[in-house]
Structure 1
Amino acid sequence: MTMDTPISQYIIFVVISGVLSVLLAIYAYNNKNKFTGMKVFMWSTILSAVYTFAFAFELASDSLSEIRFWLNIEYLGMPFISPLSLLLIMIYVGIEKFNTFKKSWVFFIIPFITLLMVTTNEYHHLFYKDLFLNPHIEKPMVDVIPGLWYYVHGSYTSGSMFASLFLLYRYWRKTKSIYRKQMITLAIGIMLPMLGALAYVLGITPLGMDPVPILMCITSTLYVTSIFSTSLLTVAPIAREHIFESMRDGVLVLNLENQIMDFNGAAAKIIPALTPETIGQKLDHIWKRGAETGAFSVGSDEALDHEEELKWVRGGETFYYRIRSSRLLKSNGQLAGRTIVMIDVTEHTLLQHKLRYLAEIDGLTSIYNRTFFMEKSRELLAAAHQSQAPLCFILFDIDHFKQINDRYGHSVGDFALKHIVMICQQFLPEHALLGRYGGEEFAISLPSTTLEQAGQTAELLRAEIAANPLYSSAKAITITASFGVTQARTADIPLEMLLSEADIALYRSKHTGRNAVHLSNNGSIHAFQQK
């Protein structure tokens, strides 16, 4: 047989189809953990390779006995391809209860009987009533007279294909465009062999040859193209999409390489950068475009779930999300990837912030209240002792504040407190800690500041307060304040004792005429002298 005959050329394409099936089988084996149905796809491609290679040998045979032998080999693969394709489609659309052989063996009863019928046909002729060489063709080509089981086998094969197409059609409208491209590939992979088989049965194929193996060359090429262009058989099954889209929380599905395999509409609203084109991209590349706090840590330990809260700025608005990374396991317990759930906790977080604000901030002056000032000052005191850096405290209160309230009213008194805070915030160093200690009394913590420097700060505040009267109803009200300053010395002196020393120095200022600054240096109190 020369290589320029139609049959020889046909054999070449059939062999190419077999090679592609082998390559797809190798790919499926190497990626069997990426998709639940990958093992089904692997067996489908292996059996397709058996069928196509055996058919190539059948075409190359020179006698009826050789043809009979290779026909038997063909049926080791061919009867099982259609039910395997049906199982693959079922798993793809989310019907996973048949994803193991124990649950799916019923699909292979008729294919196994078909294999038995073919190999024992000479004893009962239920599959082929007769099998003979076509006398009208020079090259030995087999012709058959179908038996009863031939029609049973054909009906089962066609039924499996129609069922596969029906499932794809049923889920067509529910899917995203990324899945529709995959579904078209799967549908063509089913329809082409089905149409080829129909043409063969009707006897309208060239030389009466079975066109299915050569059509499988086309379908295999489509599978290869779709695997690399649309991540066929690596993205999440489409049946879960309606669950995704009905969820209020954003959901991302990642594979083992932290590539985005799927997402729902809620996730796309949170991260506008999520588009169908981002399927297959690394999560970090997308995440950095939206999260103010940077990339979310998925978690390096595969055995652990991970959760954290992120601040997200979108369109000038601030949102808060609780991000939860959970393992995505297959039915056998193997890790298949991760799901990222983004829960909007903005309202809850803002309420927490408000409660924290109320617990930490003085409602009138918007500076720290006494409780929180004491808490933060203890932290500064511990840090100063550890670093051996100086730390000073200032206490001061408004002179004759009761007279302001009595003469001008409490509203003016409140305004006076805010006026004092505004001056302090204007002239205090950035690292200073300012709090309302009680009534008209204020406290200041000055880290990395010596007693002399703290005295200068207190003197600056005293002078600015005295020089900037409070204007109420076009009337200027002169306000003064008295100050006491002390410095932390040893680690065994508690904060309360240090503030007590500052308080004693403050009252020395009041008793010596007010509007003054006194320093407490290891129990010794003296008036601050500007150098």
Structure 2
Amino acid sequence: MTSQLTTYITLFCTSGILNLYLCIYVYLKRHQYTNIKNSFSLYCLSITIYCFAAAFGLTASNLQEIKLWTIVQYIGMPFSSPLGLLFIMQYLGVKVTKKRVILLLSIPFISLIMVATNDFHHLHYKELVVDPALGAPYSVIEIGIWYLVHGMHTFGCMLAAFLLLILRWKETAKMYRPQIIALMFGQLVPMVTAFLYLIGATPPGFDPVPMVLWLTSILYLWAISSSRLFTVMPIAKNAIFHSISDGVIVLDEENHLIEYNEASKRMFPRLNKTLLGKDFYTIWQDIDEDLEEFSLDKVDTSQEMKFEIEASGKIYQIRTSPLQHGDEKKGLLIILTEITELKRLQSQLEQQAYFDELTQVYNRRAFFQHCGQKLIDAKENQTPLTIILFDIDYFKKVNDTYGHLIGDHLLKHVAKVCHKQIHKNALFARYGGEEFVIAIEGDAATKGVAVANEIRMKIASEPLAVDDLVISITASFGVAQSSGDLDETLTQVLSNADLALYEAKEEGRNRVHVYSEGKQFTS
């Protein structure tokens, strides 16, 4: 045995040992990995059989031994490239069905049978003889028709795996790209070597591919140990990233779009793969022009925004979180949660808590909450706050005469009339029963009297018409202005307005009285 032949055998065995180690290593740690470990283990096992059989083939001393070890090679070699393709497909999240597996592995099974029975049909090798110049274990072959089918299938699987990895390069986050590089070279090295062998550019007499497979094994070992292949990889995205209901958008450190999940695509139909690599602000401008409300500089924050995407009126909560490796920022994670239904329920609860069910204006609770703040602001700004308290004259008589249903109609009618007359900055609420209250910030009592008179005359001029009934309405008003005293409470101002209202009713109703330093006068 020549030293050159010994070198070839050593390289073949090295490739076989490394692939066997990979197979055993991944199997022993299978509980730490995802389902992709199964296809990878089979892939490594097929290469192991191929490499060891090729090494033993180089020890053959006659044609029969060469043929025997060639058959053993075909137990592994034709299966390695389709198993490698299945492994890459699973890694990238491409759906692997039973039908696809059968289609990919059917030709290798036929190739194995063809080689084992070649002496009967010569469809794989038209001729397989010992090299007349070099002698055993070197051989010379004349390929048959099935060899061409087998060769195209093998080369096609490696090329397909390589192209799939290239196509996913742009949309793969930088943290995963070392894995992609390792896998690309793992497919490229044997593919190029096989091509050189087919065109006669390698040493004659044997298949040189097992000689270089140790290099791919080293790359896979590096990917497993350094870049956490099988533990952190794009395939996890398919199981988790695309299945979560929240929209997730991933940006790199320069705020370029590098990934988004299916939920994001459903939220924003304009998102597509052509936008990958583009500046996110440019993309966002196309989604929503109101950019000043959203900033990528606010990391670890939660912002609430309403988007009118195709008139959907959806409301989203947006959270931003940095992607970091140690202290170094590697990118940004944007999480979008649709809260439309939550906001609807909140609005409904707020409506029930702060709005009068009958008249749909603020209730007493809401008035005290909002007006209490208005009084605080008025004291701080040294501006007046005027309260107008009024009730419907003879309301009890309407209830007793026409019933409570007509009384309810009357309350809604008065609320509607008042709402049209009141300035949008004024606070209007149902105070209780037939009483209503208005708060005007920044205006003195004289302005309050004018407003009260406008409302009083409007109510009197618009009687309630229900069915065949027409009921005339009047209302009495009491007006009080805050004194500016820092110790004054809202209850005190309301009490003053109530005293003025009492005087208005005592003096004949349908009039406005204003409170002033312990006495009331008619307007």
User: Normalising by structure 2, what TM-score?
Assistant: 0.61
Equivalent in 279, 284, 291 of residue 282 of structure 1: 279
Compute the displacement of 1:188 (Å).
Answer: 7.7
Partner SS, residue 365 of structure 2: helix
Residue 245 (structure 1) aligns with: 242
1:502 is the counterpart of 2:497: yes
Q: Residue type matched to 1:424 in 2?
A: C
How far, CA to CA, are the matches of 2:433 and 2:316 in structure 1? 39
Residue 380 (structure 1) aligns with: 374
Residue 88 (structure 2) aligns with: 168
Residue 429 (structure 1) aligns with: 423
How far, CA to CA, are the matches of 2:162 and 2:440 in structure 1? 66
Residue 351 (structure 2) aligns with: 357
Partner SS, residue 246 of structure 1: coil
Residue 516 (structure 1) aligns with: 511
1:198 is the counterpart of 2:194: yes
Compute the displacement of 1:523 (Å).
Answer: 2.4
How far, CA to CA, are the matches of 1:411 and 1:97 in structure 2? 71
Would the alpha carbon gap of residues 181 and 325 (structure 1) be closer, same or farther in structure 2, given more than 3 Å must change?
Answer: farther
CA contact (8 A) 1:320 1:346 kept: yes
Residue 266 (structure 2) aligns with: 269
Compute the displacement of 1:501 (Å).
Answer: 0.4
1:396 is the counterpart of 2:390: yes
Compute the displacement of 1:158 (Å).
Answer: 11
Q: Residue type matched to 1:284 in 2?
A: Y
Residue 16 (structure 1) aligns with: none
How far, CA to CA, are the matches of 1:363 and 1:467 in structure 2? 26
Structure 2 residue runs of 5 or longer lacking an equivalent are 1-6, 35-43, 45-55, 60-74, 98-160, 168-179, 210-231
CA contact (8 A) 2:386 2:441 kept: yes
- For 1:340-489, list aligned pairs within 5 A: 340-489=334-483
Structure 1 residue runs of 5 or longer lacking an equivalent are 1-70, 99-107, 109-125, 130-154, 213-234
Compute the displacement of 1:503 (Å).
Answer: 0.4
How far, CA to CA, are the matches of 1:285 and 1:355 in structure 2? 38
Q: Deviation per CA, 1:20-75: give whole Å up to 9, x if none.
A: xxxxxxxxxxxxxxxxxxxxxxxxxxxxxxxxxxxxxxxxxxxxxxxxxxx9xxx9
Would the alpha carbon gap of residues 411 and 289 (structure 1) be closer, same or farther in structure 2, given more than 3 Å must change?
Answer: farther
Partner SS, residue 319 of structure 2: strand
Q: Deviation per CA, 1:155-213: give whole Å up to 9, x if none.
A: 999998776444224444479xxx996525678866554343235446712998x999x
Would the alpha carbon gap of residues 244 and 440 (structure 1) be closer, same or farther in structure 2, given more than 3 Å must change?
Answer: same
Partner SS, residue 242 of structure 2: helix
Would the alpha carbon gap of residues 475 and 157 (structure 1) be closer, same or farther in structure 2, given more than 3 Å must change?
Answer: same
Aligned Cα root-mean-square deviation (Å): 5.2
CA contact (8 A) 2:464 2:471 kept: yes
Partner SS, residue 382 of structure 1: helix
How far, CA to CA, are the matches of 1:520 and 1:288 in structure 2? 56
Moved more, 356-365 or 282-291: 282-291
Partner SS, residue 496 of structure 2: helix
Q: Deviation per CA, 1:322-343: give whole Å up to 9, x if none.
A: 333344455x786533333323
Q: Identity across aligned pairs (percent)?
A: 34
Moved more, 196-205 or 478-487: 196-205
- For 1:6-25, list aligned pairs within 5 A: none
Aligned residue pairs total 396
Compute the displacement of 1:448 (Å).
Answer: 1.5
CA contact (8 A) 2:298 2:320 kept: no
Moved more, 320-329 or 275-284: 320-329
Q: Residue type matched to 1:198 in 2?
A: A
How far, CA to CA, are the matches of 2:307 and 2:261 in structure 1? 18
CA contact (8 A) 2:392 2:434 kept: yes
Q: Residue type matched to 2:263 in 1?
A: A
Residue 157 (structure 2) aligns with: none
Q: Residue type matched to 1:310 in 2?
A: M
Equivalent in 240, 254, 258 of residue 255 of structure 2: 258
How far, CA to CA, are the matches of 2:289 and 2:482 in structure 1? 39
Residue 24 (structure 1) aligns with: none
Would the alpha carbon gap of residues 321 and 236 (structure 1) be closer, same or farther in structure 2, given more than 3 Å must change?
Answer: farther
